[in-house]
């Protein structure tokens, strides 16, 4: 059998429901679920709660109540079969009397994956409606992290039309307009961690927080090989000061510090940094510059997605948005796939992924 039109409609709704909880569920995936009653009408919907809370299927089943019996659960990710902080969703679906489950993405995890077979063994009809790529929007970061063992990295930059991230005198506020800056705060709210280099901290002294506060804030991380970040930096303020990632031999001490190995150039080993963040249950990282740190991530093929905000302005001089990316000739250029182009106020936002 294949998914029916009303089930595909429910799956699209489940994707939208899951989008609202991005940045709040890690290390669990941001899953969306819609329960249809036996007649095909929506009976309940839900998304993954913060860690320790119910998964999307359980939230939707509670909303549906008895209407779930004999109905269909439509889920963006294959229901889990393991017991962690909560019980297995497969058991909840069987106990609720659901007759059919339609899901989009296969769970790649060794513990949680395989839920479809468990459901079939429990007498539930199961259908994978679409390929993994269809529901990638909210699940993209989690699926990448599950497969690679490191967080999904989005590099965000803002530049003039001629690719400058600041003027020759170092000023950069503001290259892009208010709408683009608001969109960046949306990206921050969807990320588990925001990462900046010490150069950005020294030049701009950013807070690296989401504004207005959505009720949850990403982990702030400053990459600072030698410990130059001043203790008065705004990123080190607040109830959850930024983590400062330094080389293990750096002569500096911070409230929260990651001591990491250095690379061949004497900088913090970026892959070691990502693995250390994964140990802190970080699934998605928003990389916010500057150009040298971004270049190092790109050179090591550690950027999964690029979101660029291009302003209709020309400078002609000043630092480029990216430097040191390791492409010394045109044949070595890091080629990307352009996935989305749209206006944000007077600017243009480009969303790209590596091919």
**Residue, of 133 and 272, whose pLDDT is higher:** 272
Top-ranked range on mean pLDDT: pick from 134-143, 216-225, 256-265: 216-225
The residues that bridge with 286 in the sheet, in sequence order, are 154, 194
C-alpha 30/C-alpha 77 separation (Å) is 9
Q: How far apart are CA 355 and CA 342, in angstroms?
A: 20
- Whether residue 252 has pLDDT greater than 90: no
What does the pLDDT read at residue 129? 84
Q: What pLDDT, on a 0 to 100 scale, did the predictor assign at position 170?
A: 84
Eight-state DSSP code of residue 133: G
pLDDT tens digits, one per residue of 117-166: 999 999 999 999 875 455 568 999 999 999 999 999 999 999 999 999 98
What residues are labeled active site? 57
Nearest 10 degrees: Cα torsion 344, 350, 351, 352: 180
**CA-to-CA distance for 254 and 229, rounded, in angstroms?**
9
Q: Is 230 exposed, middle or buried (0-12, 13-18, 19+ CB in 10 A)?
A: exposed
| Six-digit token string for 70 | 């004999």
Cβ within 8 Å of residue 272, ≥6 positions away: 260, 261
Does the pLDDT value for residue 112 go beyond 60? no
Segment 46-58 shows an average pLDDT of 94
pLDDT for position 312: 97
Cα 300–Cα 191–Cα 281 angle in degrees, nearest 5:
80
The whole-angstrom separation of Cα 314 and Cα 316 is 6
Residue with the larger pLDDT of the pair 134 and 96: 96
pLDDT at 2: 75
Looking at residue 1, what is its pLDDT?
Answer: 55
Domain boundaries, the chain: 5-139, 149-354
Would you identify the CATH topology of the domain 5-139? Cytidine Deaminase; domain 2 (3.40.140)
The mean predicted confidence, pLDDT, of the chain is 91
Region 37-47: mean pLDDT is 95
- Top-tier CATH class for 149-354: alpha beta
pLDDT above 60 (res 54): yes
State the pLDDT at residue 136: 64
Q: Is the pLDDT of residue 113 over 90?
A: no
Section 219-237 average pLDDT: 94
């Amino acid at each position: 059998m294949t998914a029916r039109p009303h089930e595909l409609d429910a799956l699209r709704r489940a994707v939208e429901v899951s989008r609202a909880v991005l940045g709040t569920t890690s290390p669990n995936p941001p899953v969306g679920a819609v329960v249809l009653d036996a007649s095909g009408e929506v009976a309940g919907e839900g998304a993954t709660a913060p860690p320790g809370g119910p998964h999307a299927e359980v939230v939707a089943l509670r909303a549906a109540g008895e209407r779930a019996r004999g109905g269909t659960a439509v889920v963006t990710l294959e229901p889990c079969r393991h017991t962690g902080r909560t019980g297995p969703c497969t058991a909840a679906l069987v106990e609720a009397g659901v007759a059919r489950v339609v899901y989009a993405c296969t769970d790649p995890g060794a513990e949680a994956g395989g839920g479809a077979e468990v459901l079939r063994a429990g007498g539930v009809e199961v259908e994978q409606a679409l390929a993994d790529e269809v529901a990638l929007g909210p699940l993209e970061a989690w699926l990448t992290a599950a497969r690679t063992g490191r967080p999904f990295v989005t590099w965000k930059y803002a530049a003039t039309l001629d690719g400058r991230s600041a003027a020759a005198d170092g000023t950069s506020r503001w290259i892009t307009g208010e709408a683009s800056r608001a969109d960046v705060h949306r990206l921050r709210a969807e990320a588990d961690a925001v990462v900046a280099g010490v150069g950005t901290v020294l030049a701009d002294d950013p807070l690296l927080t989401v504004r207005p506060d959505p009720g949850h804030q990403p982990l702030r991380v400053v990459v600072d090989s030698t410990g130059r970040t001043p203790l008065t930096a705004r990123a080190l303020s607040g109830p959850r000061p930024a983590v400062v990632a330094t080389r293990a031999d750096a002569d500096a001490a911070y409230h929260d510090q990651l001591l990491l190995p250095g690379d061949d150039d004497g900088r913090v080993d970026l892959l070691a940094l990502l693995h250390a963040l994964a140990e802190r249950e970080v699934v998605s990282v928003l990389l916010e510059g500057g150009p040298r740190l971004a270049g190092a991530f790109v050179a090591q093929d550690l950027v999964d997605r690029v979101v660029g905000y291009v302003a209709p302005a020309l400078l002609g001089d000043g630092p480029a948005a990216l430097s040191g990316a390791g492409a010394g000739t045109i044949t070595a250029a890091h080629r990307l796939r352009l996935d989305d182009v749209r206006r944000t106020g007077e600017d243009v936002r480009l969303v790209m992924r590596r091919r």
